[in-house]
Structure 1
Amino acid sequence: MASTEPAYVAIAQRKQAELAAAIPTQWKLPAQFIPAGMLTPAESITEGPKQYGRVNVMEIPRTCGLLTSKELEITEKYDIRALVLAMTEGKLKAEDVVQGFCKRAAIAHQLTRCLTEPLFDRALHRARELDNHLQRTGRPVGPLHGLPVSVKDTFNIKGVDSSIGLSALAFKPASANSPLVDLLESLGAIIIAKTNVPQTLATLDSCNHLFGRTLNPLNRQWTAGGSTGGEGVLVAMRGTMVGFGTDIGGSIRVPAMCQGIYGFKPSNGRVPYGGQQSGQLSGKGRMALQAVAGPLARSVADLGAVMAEILPRAELFDEDCIPGYWPTPAPSVPVMLALPRNFTIGILKTDGLVTPLPPVARVIDEVAQLLRQTPGVEVVDITTPPAMSKCQGVTGRLMGVDDGSTMMDLIESMGESLIPWLQGRYGRGKALNVNQLAALHTQRSQLEKEMLKMWTLGVSRERRVDAIICPVAPHPVPQMDRYNAVGYTSSFVLLDYPAGTLPVRRFVESDLDIGQEMNSPELGSWDKANRKLWNEGTTDRRVYLDSPLSVQVVTPKQRDYELFQAMEIIDRAVQGRAATAKL
């Protein structure tokens, strides 16, 4: 009798078996280290956060006994520059470094389902090649010699699937590398894995029928974010030194916020984006809204270390890149001491569309106060430009210029259903005609023009605001499938402003504001939905305890190095506060 199961079920089982087989037996976690209630990938699609319980698995790689003391030191002691230096000076072998990170990535996956394609064998083979080259010639293979990195599943690697969570694309290996993969390998970096994404790449919770739902290692009730959710988890759990994702609505910055790490969305053309699998109409980005690629890391310094090598070379690897400059090495003198005037940081408290919840507003104020106490920094309040509240609507319409049939054909061809969050939110539509598309871009141009005023003070256009701080989201890290109001991140893709996520502190008891509700007038449907994440009748606020609270840092178009500098200044102020608190 023929099976009545949809075709995707067998494909998913086969794909998950292939993934499990890529993890060596000696790297498998003993059962007692995997928390109770770990649902199967199929169950994880529909089961909600209550079924998972509040579990933090961040310490398990350190306590499970699978990592040797040397591997723990390799994966925890170094930043990028120090690790590469240790390898190029012969103090560490690339093979030992890569094995330590591969093993830690395998452990992270068993706890969170963050991987799609473990590339451990080929990574170790490449590490041995680098060790032999260094021993034979005395020269490293590039400035990132031996650096373990990972990439979002969308990036093509020759001979490896780019299934992006769709069974229709499984077991169809790529025929060529993405330009970013070629660039990373030319620099000496070693890609150890590809990581999980959401179905359609259009949600902020990384969940699909092929690999299941990626879990947040800090608390499995919270979303891990998307669409670069697997990368965010792997970076946070030290299963890689740096991860590379893409961002069109916040897909780098949101996972960074959810895991309490650092994310960097560059301007368009700074990091090679082409040669990816998106499941979308080819060329859509050129006529609608163009996503960008960028890194996630555990420090501002690590973001700078990889951008310093990628940005000046990007134009040689992909036609979508432009010439770029990044000082190497970065100046040791803090940027505010090198300027003829104070470094000016603006504080943008709201986008005018969704009012940030109290703990989000509070952390913005705290960072502003720290910066006011920082020599060489001037802090100014930015009045929300009227155009800001219009950006999210134009962004959303540009994302949906086609009829959605390319993605829906892939999903339906294997009998897949849309994951629960997408049901009623995604499907086939009607493509815009040329006149409608032109009208949208006319609106976009007008918004870009109006938003320029945000970077000047008063009537003079000579004095520029160097960077702006604003929320990443109008709420703390939410439970699965409850992320709301993407406008705080997507608007800066529309405007092509570089933007980064920077963690500040954890959500604490005093942030709960028990018994206090928001009394300001609701601004609209998005604002109403956001307040449900705080209203004590619809949300137990204690779910946010210990979650990371972050800020977003934004600079004007093509000011990518200035974004790095601004993040460095702000992070130094935040870390200084943290160090003082520990004394």
Structure 2
Amino acid sequence: MEYSAIAQRKQSQLWERIPPQWRLSPSQIPPGMHSPAESVANVQYDRVNVLDIPRSCGLLSAKELEITENWDVTGLLSQIHGLKLSAKEVVQAFCKRAAIAHQVTRCLTEPLFDSALQRAQELDDHLRRTGSPVGPIHGLPISVKDSFNIRGVDSSVGIAALALHPSEADAPLVSLLQSLGAIIITKTNVPQTMGALDSANHLFGRTLNPLNRQLTVGGSTGGEGALIALRGSMIGFGTDIGGSIRIPAMCNGLYGFKPSQGRVPYGGQTDGQPKAKGRVSIQAVAGPIARSVADIDAVMTHLIPRAQWFGEDCIPGAWPSPISSFGQRKPVTIGVLPTDGLVEPLPPITKVLNEVANALRRTPGVNVVEIPVPAALAKCQALAGRLMGVDGGLTMMDLLESTGEPLIPWLQGRTKRGRPLTLAQLAELQAQRGAIELELRRKLWALDSGNEQKIDAIIFPVAPHPVPELDRYNAVGYTSSFVLLDYPAGVVPVRKFNEGDLERGKEMAKPVLGSWDKANRELWNERTVDRTVYLNSPLSIQVITPKQHDYELYQAMDLIDRAIKTNRPKL
């Protein structure tokens, strides 16, 4: 079939899975909701914030609003396990809210509402019959990125050639979540090829940012970002190789957690890449996007100890970690890393990083130190990019060409058939990676003063710019570098971009560092952007810990989040 026919069929399937009584009236859908095909082009949207539509549309009852808005993960589970709420009424409330979220953002790909409600009923029957939940997260509504395989469901990842071919088995993470009692209610949208940082494809169209439709929702886990922001799921799972968990978290004012390799099962993905490519190049990881640090903890505490029994790519783990030294050394030392040395952060990014550093300086038991920018850090972005492209993109291009599917506009000129690397070339890249890993281990964590860790965690920008307009995300090295280095990295929202951040009439004076830096400054230059587009968008910071210090990352994010909230109004 030709790609447009497949797209039409997939969009019809999706719409049919939204019950008529859960559909918004045309008057409730914000103006300018272009067709999926039109949305892929960089059309002009307004700055409408749609976060209140689920509450104001009238489709959700008072109880459904309470269920979807009043609880964190731990609180909601206590209501279900204590028989104060049934899993079925909880799942129905979130399914309905997810359906509404989709109609204003295009965030879903595969609604699983019928199977989710059936599973919820089974869990309710079990709990009433036995008095015990199936598992520790029994009844928790969860969503997953489209790439995770679910038996009997497509994993098309925005590529027509992969559509209409249901998966034959569940991904290990899906099996793990279900064994714990979670209920997966939907899969969510991604960019074509999962190689862009704005979630647009020809199958489902562009997912829009619910905070401001002129700004990107991020990618490649962009559908999850929009859905969690609109409270259409309690927690979502995505993948991250270049920043695909952390970037949507930043763009939607959420918390993102990219673990080290081996902590959360990654296998069982459909991604249009050669099988096991990550084993020889650079390995993506799976992790959560949530509305709080506490929600991340509430789920990871059950995933980490069990992951090795589900994912062949996982190692034994514990949560809390018995080897964690975070907080045992007094004071806790947080390093401030201002830039990657390749792209200079725009003024509001430097400003918010300094605000967080100052909040930490006012926090008892915390020592804040400035980290000199290591020269090796600037090499990471290019090296990560080369490792991502070791196969020359041949498998992906074959898939696209098989249905005549064109690249989305942003990928045109950026994606093409290449030449696969030879074994000798790949070995050389991995040798360079090893040398950089060792150098940065010393310069970032020991401050080049010996073989003892001196820094507990680092704060760093998520990106060198605020949440940008559609298809204008720049400098992926701020996130991809920490996949290359295999450092756990998370995102914590700080505050909204305000009038004081605009600095009207003032441009950056520092010399341009190179082509990436030049492109980044176009997101601030008043001749190339209307800075007011950033008003009320979320400003976030990235938190990083050493390799395999995943529990310490949670601890650091919690400490930093509390310090921010002590000094800043809630986002």
For the aligned pair, the TM-score class normalised by the smaller chain equals: over 0.9
* Equivalent position of 1:38 in the other structure: 33
User: Hey, what's the Cα distance between the residues in 1 that align with 2:392 and 2:354?
Assistant: 43
Are 2:546 and 1:551 equivalent residues in the alignment? no
* Equivalent position of 1:378 in the other structure: 367
SS where residue 88 of structure 2 aligns? helix
> Given residue 436 of structure 1, which amino acid in structure 2 is its aligned partner?
Q
Displacement of 1:463 after TM fit? Answer: 4.6
Are 2:498 and 1:533 equivalent residues in the alignment? no
Are 2:386 and 1:397 equivalent residues in the alignment? yes
Question: 1:358 aligned to 347, 358, 366, which one?
Answer: 347
Are 2:238 and 1:249 equivalent residues in the alignment? no
* Equivalent position of 1:343 in the other structure: 332
Structure-to-structure mapping, 1:93-108, within 5 angstroms: 93-108=86-101
- RMSD, aligned α-carbons: 1.4
Contact 1:159 / 1:175 at 8 angstroms: preserved in 2? yes
SS where residue 254 of structure 1 aligns? helix
* Equivalent position of 2:512 in the other structure: 522
User: Hey, what's the Cα distance between the residues in 1 that align with 2:212 and 2:453?
Assistant: 44
Query: CA offsets per residue over residues 286-311 of structure 1, 9 Å max, x none?
Result: 00000000000000000111111101
User: Hey, what's the Cα distance between the residues in 1 that align with 2:94 and 2:565?
Assistant: 26
* Equivalent position of 2:311 in the other structure: 318
Q: Alpha carbons of 1:404 and 1:463: their partners in 2 closer, same or farther (altered >3 Å)? A: closer
User: Hey, what's the Cα distance between the residues in 1 that align with 2:77 and 2:547?
Assistant: 31
Q: Alpha carbons of 1:111 and 1:354: their partners in 2 closer, same or farther (altered >3 Å)? A: same
User: Hey, what's the Cα distance between the residues in 1 that align with 2:173 and 2:275?
Assistant: 18
SS where residue 542 of structure 2 aligns? strand
SS where residue 375 of structure 2 aligns? coil
Displacement of 1:576 after TM fit? Answer: 1.3
Are 2:61 and 1:68 equivalent residues in the alignment? yes
* Equivalent position of 2:418 in the other structure: 429
Structure-to-structure mapping, 1:103-114, within 5 angstroms: 103-114=96-107
User: Hey, what's the Cα distance between the residues in 1 that align with 2:433 and 2:448?
Assistant: 24
Contact 1:52 / 1:221 at 8 angstroms: preserved in 2? yes
Displacement of 1:460 after TM fit? Answer: 3.9
Question: 1:491 aligned to 467, 475, 481, which one?
Answer: 481
Tell me the TM-score normalised to structure 2 length: 0.98
User: Hey, what's the Cα distance between the residues in 2 that align with 1:236 and 1:253?
Assistant: 14
Contact 1:248 / 1:490 at 8 angstroms: preserved in 2? yes
> Given residue 405 of structure 1, which amino acid in structure 2 is its aligned partner?
L
SS where residue 295 of structure 2 aligns? helix
* Equivalent position of 1:207 in the other structure: 200
Displacement of 1:458 after TM fit? Answer: 5.7
Question: 1:418 aligned to 402, 407, 413, which one?
Answer: 407
Q: Which runs of 4+ in 1 moved over 4 A?
A: none
Query: CA offsets per residue over residues 431-474 of structure 1, 9 Å max, x none?
Result: 00000000000000000011012101462433520000000000
Contact 1:403 / 1:429 at 8 angstroms: preserved in 2? yes
Structure-to-structure mapping, 1:293-308, within 5 angstroms: 293-308=286-301
User: Hey, what's the Cα distance between the residues in 2 that align with 1:225 and 1:259?
Assistant: 8
User: Hey, what's the Cα distance between the residues in 1 that align with 2:225 and 2:167?
Assistant: 24
Query: CA offsets per residue over residues 352-402 of structure 1, 9 Å max, x none?
Result: 000000000000000000000000110000011110000111001000101
* Equivalent position of 2:188 in the other structure: 195
User: Hey, what's the Cα distance between the residues in 1 that align with 2:56 and 2:357?
Assistant: 38
Contact 2:488 / 2:545 at 8 angstroms: preserved in 1? yes
Question: 2:15 aligned to 11, 14, 20, which one?
Answer: 20
User: Hey, what's the Cα distance between the residues in 2 that align with 1:578 and 1:469?
Assistant: 17
Question: 1:408 aligned to 397, 418, 421, which one?
Answer: 397
Are 2:219 and 1:226 equivalent residues in the alignment? yes
> Given residue 18 of structure 1, which amino acid in structure 2 is its aligned partner?
Q
Question: 1:479 aligned to 469, 487, 512, which one?
Answer: 469
Question: 1:466 aligned to 410, 435, 456, which one?
Answer: 456
Displacement of 1:327 after TM fit? Answer: 2.2
> Given residue 59 of structure 1, which amino acid in structure 2 is its aligned partner?
D
> Given residue 121 of structure 1, which amino acid in structure 2 is its aligned partner?
D
Displacement of 1:493 after TM fit? Answer: 0.2
> Given residue 268 of structure 1, which amino acid in structure 2 is its aligned partner?
Q
Query: CA offsets per residue over residues 51-75 of structure 1, 9 Å max, x none?
Result: 2111110000000000000000000
Question: 1:141 aligned to 134, 150, 153, which one?
Answer: 134
Are 2:206 and 1:216 equivalent residues in the alignment? no
User: Hey, what's the Cα distance between the residues in 1 that align with 2:310 and 2:283?
Assistant: 18
Contact 2:158 / 2:203 at 8 angstroms: preserved in 1? yes
User: Hey, what's the Cα distance between the residues in 2 that align with 1:154 and 1:553?
Assistant: 26
Query: CA offsets per residue over residues 194-242 of structure 1, 9 Å max, x none?
Result: 0000001000000000000000000100000000000011011000000
Displacement of 1:340 after TM fit? Answer: 3.9
> Given residue 531 of structure 1, which amino acid in structure 2 is its aligned partner?
R
Question: 1:500 aligned to 468, 484, 490, which one?
Answer: 490
Query: CA offsets per residue over residues 128-175 of structure 1, 9 Å max, x none?
Result: 000000000000010001000000000000000001111111111000
User: Hey, what's the Cα distance between the residues in 1 that align with 2:222 and 2:151?
Assistant: 23
* Equivalent position of 1:3 in the other structure: none
Gaps of 5+ in 1: 1-5
Contact 1:308 / 1:328 at 8 angstroms: preserved in 2? no
User: Hey, what's the Cα distance between the residues in 2 that align with 1:497 and 1:58?
Assistant: 33
User: Hey, what's the Cα distance between the residues in 2 that align with 1:459 and 1:43?
Assistant: 56
SS where residue 568 of structure 2 aligns? helix
Contact 1:198 / 1:208 at 8 angstroms: preserved in 2? yes
* Equivalent position of 1:271 in the other structure: 264
User: Hey, what's the Cα distance between the residues in 1 that align with 2:483 and 2:450?
Assistant: 27
Are 2:568 and 1:573 equivalent residues in the alignment? no
User: Hey, what's the Cα distance between the residues in 2 that align with 1:166 and 1:371?
Assistant: 45
Are 2:59 and 1:59 equivalent residues in the alignment? no
Query: CA offsets per residue over residues 522-542 of structure 1, 9 Å max, x none?
Result: 111000000000011111111
> Given residue 30 of structure 2, which amino acid in structure 1 is its aligned partner?
P
Figure out how many residues of one structure are paired with residues of the other and give that number.
569
SS where residue 571 of structure 1 aligns? helix
SS where residue 344 of structure 1 aligns? strand
Contact 2:371 / 2:447 at 8 angstroms: preserved in 1? no
**Overall identity of the aligned pairs, in %:** 66
User: Hey, what's the Cα distance between the residues in 1 that align with 2:30 and 2:312?
Assistant: 47
User: Hey, what's the Cα distance between the residues in 2 that align with 1:97 and 1:535?
Assistant: 47
> Given residue 366 of structure 1, which amino acid in structure 2 is its aligned partner?
E
Question: 1:387 aligned to 376, 386, 394, which one?
Answer: 376
User: Hey, what's the Cα distance between the residues in 1 that align with 2:550 and 2:193?
Assistant: 29
User: Hey, what's the Cα distance between the residues in 2 that align with 1:462 and 1:407?
Assistant: 44
User: Hey, what's the Cα distance between the residues in 2 that align with 1:524 and 1:15?
Assistant: 43
SS where residue 521 of structure 1 aligns? coil
Gaps of 5+ in 2: none
* Equivalent position of 2:117 in the other structure: 124
> Given residue 247 of structure 2, which amino acid in structure 1 is its aligned partner?
V
SS where residue 481 of structure 2 aligns? helix
> Given residue 27 of structure 1, which amino acid in structure 2 is its aligned partner?
W
Query: CA offsets per residue over residues 240-264 of structure 1, 9 Å max, x none?
Result: 0000000000000000000000000
